[in-house]
């Protein structure tokens, strides 16, 4: 495998896009055009990042400037530039969350998921494309696009940088009216749950704690607890449908003590 630093370099470029702030139930509250740049310096030994926001009708805030010479353990990258960074431990009395990013065909799709005192507080959806490219944004994800059986491989990376772990996964989603059933098999795990579709939102109760699924623009999705229950394992997941038969998912998994265990990338195809 390539180094984490080499994987970061997949994100170099000028990315034009927007930060869309969503309520915990997925309602759009604010949309802000943005320009994010990643520039390699000193033969790519340093990465310089800027973030410019252009709030409609407001004076733009100062440009945020960041410089990277190394990467901390809360941030992990996969070979093609997909990544996640976030809290190493769950905080039930303060702020907790993470950022997730996909990159595919000159586009990036990122998510920031934040909790306050254990409750989902807000989600930011970030849609971006490389400057001077014309790859179109994907439409709003619908449940019908996800129906069927998805076969995939999950790659798990660990904060202590031990060798990655590979497992096969199968996800089946079916619909009868507004009733949605999903079955997940991955390694020794087998989960089956049923819920009712509510617009672009679903809530499943079959796991260790209830999770909400939001179907979002650009083929995106989030799967998260609305409230994190103490002393129970949980996960934060985002997805991106990159073609009618290809989907990517990133999953940050936490144990019952609230410690971050691993970051998984699932690449799956509809069979």
In this predicted model, what pLDDT tens digit does every residue of 179-188 receive, in sequence order? 999 999 987 7
Give tens-digit pLDDT for 5-63. Answer: 999 999 999 999 999 999 999 999 999 999 999 999 999 999 999 999 999 999 999 99
E-assigned strand segments in the chain? 13-22, 28-41, 46-53, 64-68, 75-77, 83-86, 95-104, 107-116, 119-130, 148-157, 165-176, 179-186, 189-196, 201-204, 211-215, 220-224, 234-243, 246-254, 260-270
Give the confidence band of 263 by pLDDT, cuts at 50, 70, 90.
very high
Binning pLDDT at 50, 70 and 90, where does residue 99 land?
very high
Mean pLDDT of 200-214: 86
Q: What value does the mean pLDDT of the chain take?
A: 95
Q: What is the mean pLDDT of residues 216-221?
A: 98
| Residue 53, CB-side half-sphere exposure with 13 Å CA sphere | 16
Which pLDDT belongs to residue 2? Answer: 87
Q: Residue 207 has what pLDDT?
A: 66
The pLDDT value given to residue 253 = 96
The stretch 209-223 carries a mean pLDDT of 95
Residue 205 has pLDDT above 80, yes or no: no
pLDDT at 262: 97
Q: Has residue 257 got a pLDDT over 80? A: yes
Structure tokens at 263: 């970051």
Map out the domains of the chain as residue ranges. 4-270
Considering the domain delimited by 4-270, tell me its CATH architecture. Beta Barrel (2.40)
145 SS3 class? helix
Which candidate, 127, 79, 78, places its Cα nearest to that of 106? 127
For residue 202, give the nearest of 184, 226, 169, 218 by alpha carbon: 226
- Confidence (pLDDT) at 186: 84
For the question of whether the overall pTM of this predicted structure is more than 0.85, the answer is: yes
């Amino acid at each position: 495998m390539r180094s984490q630093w080499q994987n970061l370099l997949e994100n170099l470029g000028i990315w034009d896009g927007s930060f869309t702030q969503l309520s915990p139930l997925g309602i759009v509250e604010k949309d802000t055009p943005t320009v994010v740049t990643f520039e390699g310096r000193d033969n790519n030994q340093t990465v310089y990042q800027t973030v410019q926001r252009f709030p409609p009708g407001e004076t733009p805030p100062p440009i945020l400037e960041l410089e990277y010479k190394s990467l901390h353990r809360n941030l992990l990258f996969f070979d093609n530039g997909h990544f996640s960074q976030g809290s190493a431990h769950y905080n039930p009395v303060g702020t907790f969350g993470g950022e997730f990013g996909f990159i595919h065909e000159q586009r990036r799709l990122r998510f920031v998921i934040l909790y306050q005192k254990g409750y989902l507080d807000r989600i930011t959806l970030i849609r971006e494309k490389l400057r001077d490219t014309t790859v179109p944004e994907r439409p709003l994800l619908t449940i019908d696009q996800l129906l069927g059986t998805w076969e995939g491989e999950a790659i798990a990376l660990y904060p202590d940088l031990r060798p990655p772990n590979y497992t096969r996964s199968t996800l089946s989603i079916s619909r009868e009216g507004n009733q949605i059933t999903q079955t997940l098999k991955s390694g020794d795990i087998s989960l089956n749950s049923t819920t009712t579709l509510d617009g672009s939102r679903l809530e499943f109760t079959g796991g260790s704690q209830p999770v909400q699924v939001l179907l979002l623009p650009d083929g995106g999705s989030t799967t998260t607890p609305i409230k994190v229950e103490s002393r129970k394992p949980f996960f934060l997941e985002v997805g991106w449908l990159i073609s009618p038969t290809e989907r990517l998912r990133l999953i940050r998994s936490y144990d019952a003590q609230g410690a971050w265990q691993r970051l998984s990338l699932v690449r799956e195809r509809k069979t």
